[in-house]
A and B are shown apart, each in its own frame.
Chain A
Amino acid sequence: MVLFAVLVWHLVVALAAGLLGRRMGRSVLLLGALAPAVALAASVALTGGALEGEVLRTSLAWVPGMDLTIELALDGFALLFWWVISGIGVLVMLYASRYFGQRDDLGRFTALLVTFAGAMLLLTSSDNVLGLFVAWELTSITSYLLIGFEDDKAAARSSALQALLVTGAGGLALLGGLVLLAQAAGTYQLSALLEAAPGGVAAEVGLALVLLGAMTKSAQVPFHFWLPGAMSAPTPVSAYLHSATMVKAGIYLLARFAPAFAPEVAWWTPTLLAVGGVTMLLGGYRALHATDLKALLAYGTVSQLGFIVLLVGHGDPEMLFAGVAVLVAHALFKATLFLSVGVVDHQAHTRDLRRLDGVGRALPVTAVAATIATASMAGVIPLLGFVSKEAALEAAIHLDSGTVLVAALITVGSVLTTAYGIRFVWGAFLRKPAGSHPEPVTAADVPAPKRSFEAPAALLAGLTVVLGPLLAPVDALVSLGATSLEPAADEFHLLLWHGFGPSLYLSLTALAGGYLLYRLPRLVTAAGRVTSRAPDMLDVYAAALRGLNRSADRTVSVVQPGSLPVYLGIILLTAVVLPLPMLLSAGAPQIAEFADSPIQVVVVGLVMAAALGAALVRRRLSAVLLLGGVGFSVAVLFVLQGAPDLALTQLLVETLSLGIFVLVLRRLPEEFEASTWRFGNGLRVAVSATVGVFVAGFALIAAGGRTGGTNAAEFLARAEPDGGGKNVVNVILTDFRALDTLGEITVLLVAAIGVVAIVRGGRDDDQGVDLEPPTAGDPASGDPASGDPTAGDPASGDPTAGDPAAADVPEEVAR
């Protein structure tokens, strides 16, 4: 129940933040911090039990009839994620409350961020694959909304869309994969599915799809390109979603699946080794060339994610253990770096490392924190990053096969990491040679930030330092996480000092090599020539999108010619043709009785006369009135059959339709036009006659074709005791079939939006869809909720405005 309570709490806080945002100003972010704070407290409280091997489980029957259950299970690995999500979540919220200026859409921001945190907690603790998928999609959607938070900027919108398309496509693949695997395993429970580890073609296809989903989410080559684009998000979002948590969701999945499937599926380990390795090298290489500090960090994140994928995807227990350690270390140092960049950006109003000139002197706390984090990332003794990298190298050396390859990959990756790390510190904080940029931003231009703004980064950097030598807490957590994935991982522990051995030498080599590479960038120009030949994934993405739009245009021009008679004809003929075989096989209709009473004959005669008249008259208004006559006569028929409810409804619907028809008719010519096509009129008559004959025959046959009984007796009997009403029709609508009714009124709502959109959209293009009537006398019509939330607030202090580095962000793809 604790788990549910934490998740529901996130929902409550998100709602409250959304509602109170306007009133609370920046302090709404402090309200938001309450959500991860509670999650953090729960994680702390649950760790004791988890260390004793306890797995907290809860389940809630959701739709019992369909075996849909919300199942939560918090094992060691999930708990590790909860620590990271909630711990960094609290810091990011506090940080964001200093990062933003006064603006009135912070409620929306906080609500989204808290929703994301809740979704991430659900993702990592769901023991049902469908629940996991729902949470997965929720993180994609909140990520989309947060990347595009500055929605008045085209670059933010297009990179948000790009991230959504890539991760959304991956989400679809994931859903397909999970369903295939679950069907093969016969269970939708994640833990049971992993235990069963089903084999066979379908399961392997499913596994490949799951892998695809994980690769998109964790920005692995060739899907890496969305992550640098996602840097248009406000920096707290980059720090939280796009380095510490969301991009780890793919890794979470791989880590869960690898121990179960790596030994069973031959292609698993080589594939992940290749994907992780290429991503690690490509990301590191690109980071060496980025000029936007956030883009540099984003490519660095891509590289580190590749590193972790290589480790956790391998399937070897020690590699898995090392992967979990790197995951924790990365969350700490990368979040620090992003938070530091946010401070630089906020104070100096640029992230271009060519412009920043010696800003470190104005931001000493941030500069020191970022330098420590960078050192940890590069693997400098005795920081946490070093410890985790040692674990990875040790694991690689102990491998049975492929030792040299894996160790070499890690070492080369570390060389790149060191090089771009130095480049980052130099670019952000150090002095540049005079005249290297026409408009440098120097320490004198940078005002000192508030202490509380710098504190979160400093705190995280402090953790990186302290947790290096004092390994016990991290070791316990990492060991707990790795062991819950793979029991064989319990023999491994983090060590600060492995002694003089190959892993230490490789670490030192990486540091030295990285420094050399930074000093001598020409060393990598050869690599640049090779990679420049490979297609840029951004171009591939843009071309794919253009192709999609083109083929959609072509399809639409074929299936939507814009002719109402054609649409109607196709719909009617389909309705006739499809059920026809079944109807013909049912045999001739049996007519039991011609009519119940003479008056029925009279009323039906009226219906027929009115219908015929409607088909023959030339004026539209007359046709509509005659059609109304048909409807009213049918209502009389209902009365005769003893169905007052039906008759009442029919009467009212007819009345309303008449009124609305008149509204529409004013826009149409007074008389019907004959078809311009020679056979048009004949065809219309033929189609109408066919449909008429078919429907009549259908009604006759269907009425005689009932084999089972009806529900009528049951409904009549249950209406009063179960539904509490004497009117069976209403009890059915509001109780027995209430879900249908709910669906129907949803359709009504959609129809209303559709009507307004079509009418307004046709009338003025610049306003587009707007549900509010411009003439409404509502005193609240000036409610700014309906307006653009960000426009007209020049004081919102957008830190990235006018940043030349925005050029790093892809242009909106033109159709």
Chain B
Amino acid sequence: MRPRPSLVLDSVLDVVLRTALLFSLFLLFAGHNSPGGGFVGGLTAAAALVLRFVAGGVPAVDELVPLRESRFLGGGLLLAALTGFGGWVWNDAFLGSAKVEQVVPALGTLKFTTALPFDIGVYLVVVGLVLAILRALGPDADDDTTTPPPAGEPTEVAS
């Protein structure tokens, strides 16, 4: 049941993929003031991954994201929790947020809150979850002519 190569899909994919990933980052960073945020951004990136999977299967996803999903899941949760502890240390409350204003040459005034690293953590966890699902459930669709089945995987899959 491997998706047949489709000319339309392949040509559109490159453009859409980049746009979607960039847009997910935009949603992540703009989220505190306009619609968006870590969760929505993460979902957008995840949707892009699903698209990549539909077009190329798990190998294509692995090529796009050469990191293990555990890095995303663990790193995201750790980042969010550390932000919380930061709030505890500097702001007297676990997860208490603080505003930072910094003048950066050539960019102007950069304003953000400690909610941002927290949101990045959420983003990473969402991406990690979808990555885990794709890699766990996806491989059965690959036919064994393009990629050798990974060790421990059954070669025959009932469909």
A and B physically associate = yes
**Chain A residues in contact with chain B, CB under 8 A?**
63, 644-645, 648-649, 652-653, 655-656, 659-660, 663-664, 666-667, 723-727, 729-731, 733-735, 738-739, 741-742, 745-746, 748-749, 751-753, 755-756, 759-760, 763-764, 766-767, 771-779, 781
Cβ B46 vs Cβ A656 within 8 A: yes
Cβ A772 vs Cβ B70 within 8 A: yes
Cβ B125 vs Cβ A748 within 8 A: yes
Chain A residue, CB-CB nearest to B148: A775
Residue interface mask B130-158, A partner, CB < 8 A = 1: 10111111111100000100111110000
Residues of B within 8 A of A656 (CB): 43, 46-47, 50, 130
Cβ A648 vs Cβ B76 within 8 A: no
Q: Indicate which residue in A739, A752, A779 contacts B133 across the interface (CB closer than 8 Å).
A: A752
Tell me which of A644, A649, A659, A781 has the highest count of chain B C-beta atoms within 10 A of its own C-beta.
Answer: A659
Segment 61-75 of B: residues with Cβ below 8 Å from A: 62-63, 66-70, 73-74
Q: How many whole Å from A19's CB to the nearest CB in chain B?
A: 14
Cβ A726 vs Cβ B32 within 8 A: yes
* A664 to B141 CA separation, bound complex (whole angstroms): 11
* A741 to B123 CA separation, bound complex (whole angstroms): 12
Q: Indicate which residue in A659, A748, A766, A773 contacts B50 across the interface (CB closer than 8 Å).
A: A659
- 19 pairs of residues in contact across A and B, judged by CB atoms under 8 Å: A648-B36, A652-B44, A660-B137, A724-B32, A724-B115, A726-B32, A727-B33, A730-B32, A731-B115, A733-B37, A734-B97, A749-B128, A755-B132, A763-B153, A767-B152, A771-B73, A773-B58, A774-B152, A775-B62
Residues of B within 8 A of A759 (CB): 136-137
**Chain B residues in contact with chain A, CB under 8 A?**
1, 27, 31-40, 43-44, 46-47, 50, 53-54, 58-59, 62-63, 66-70, 73-74, 76-77, 80-81, 84, 94-95, 97, 99, 113, 115, 118-119, 121-122, 125-126, 128-130, 132-141, 147, 150-154, 159
Chain A residue, CB-CB nearest to B72: A752
Chain B residue, CB-CB nearest to A777: B66
Q: Which 9 A-B pairs have the closest CB atoms?
A: A725-B32, A652-B43, A734-B115, A774-B150, A659-B50, A724-B113, A752-B132, A759-B136, A738-B95
Cβ B152 vs Cβ A735 within 8 A: no
Q: Indicate which residue in A667, A725, A730 contacts B140 across the interface (CB closer than 8 Å).
A: A667
Chain A residue, CB-CB nearest to B58: A775
Tell me which of B46, B53, B119, B129 has the highest count of chain A C-beta atoms within 10 A of its own C-beta.
Answer: B129
Cβ B133 vs Cβ A755 within 8 A: yes
Residues of B within 8 A of A772 (CB): 68, 70
Cβ B128 vs Cβ A752 within 8 A: yes
Cβ A748 vs Cβ B129 within 8 A: yes
* A708 to B67 CA separation, bound complex (whole angstroms): 49
* A85 to B138 CA separation, bound complex (whole angstroms): 53
* A341 to B130 CA separation, bound complex (whole angstroms): 53
* A316 to B88 CA separation, bound complex (whole angstroms): 46
Residues of B within 8 A of A755 (CB): 132-133, 136-137
Cβ A739 vs Cβ B94 within 8 A: yes
Cβ B31 vs Cβ A776 within 8 A: no
Cβ A664 vs Cβ B137 within 8 A: yes
Chain A residue, CB-CB nearest to B1: A666
* A156 to B88 CA separation, bound complex (whole angstroms): 40
Cβ B84 vs Cβ A771 within 8 A: no
* A652 to B123 CA separation, bound complex (whole angstroms): 14
Cβ A774 vs Cβ B122 within 8 A: no
Chain A residue, CB-CB nearest to B94: A739
Residues of A within 8 A of B119 (CB): 730, 734
Residues of B within 8 A of A777 (CB): 62-63, 66
Residues of A within 8 A of B136 (CB): 755-756, 759-760, 773
Chain A residue, CB-CB nearest to B100: A724
Residues of B within 8 A of A738 (CB): 84, 95, 97, 115, 118
Asked if A724 meets B97 with Cβ closer than 8 Å, knowing A659-B47, A663-B133, A749-B73, the reply is yes
* A663 to B34 CA separation, bound complex (whole angstroms): 33
* A763 to B157 CA separation, bound complex (whole angstroms): 11
Cβ A735 vs Cβ B37 within 8 A: no
Residues of A within 8 A of B68 (CB): 771-773, 776, 778, 781
* A655 to B81 CA separation, bound complex (whole angstroms): 29
* A67 to B133 CA separation, bound complex (whole angstroms): 41
Q: Indicate which residue in B1, B40, B118, B133 contacts A660 across the interface (CB closer than 8 Å).
A: B133
* A723 to B68 CA separation, bound complex (whole angstroms): 33
Cβ A745 vs Cβ B125 within 8 A: yes
Asked if A727 meets B66 with Cβ closer than 8 Å, knowing A645-B40, A738-B84, A749-B129, the reply is no
Residues of B within 8 A of A644 (CB): 35
Cβ B39 vs Cβ A649 within 8 A: yes
Chain A residue, CB-CB nearest to B46: A656
Asked if A727 meets B32 with Cβ closer than 8 Å, knowing A666-B140, A771-B69, the reply is yes
* A509 to B35 CA separation, bound complex (whole angstroms): 86
Q: How many whole Å from B92's CB to the nearest CB in chain A?
A: 9
Asked if A730 meets B63 with Cβ closer than 8 Å, knowing A763-B153, A775-B139, the reply is no
* A653 to B129 CA separation, bound complex (whole angstroms): 13
Cβ B50 vs Cβ A734 within 8 A: no
Cβ A724 vs Cβ B99 within 8 A: yes
* A781 to B37 CA separation, bound complex (whole angstroms): 31
Q: How many whole Å from B122's CB to the nearest CB in chain A?
A: 6
Chain B residue, CB-CB nearest to A738: B95
Cβ B140 vs Cβ A731 within 8 A: no
Residues of B within 8 A of A766 (CB): 152
Residues of B within 8 A of A730 (CB): 31-32, 36-37, 115, 119
Chain B residue, CB-CB nearest to A726: B33
Residues of B within 8 A of A752 (CB): 69, 73, 128-129, 132-133
Residues of A within 8 A of B154 (CB): 763-764
Cβ B70 vs Cβ A771 within 8 A: yes
Q: Indicate which residue in A734, A745, A781 contacts B77 across the interface (CB closer than 8 Å).
A: A745
Q: How many whole Å from B126's CB to the nearest CB in chain A?
A: 7
Cβ A663 vs Cβ B43 within 8 A: no
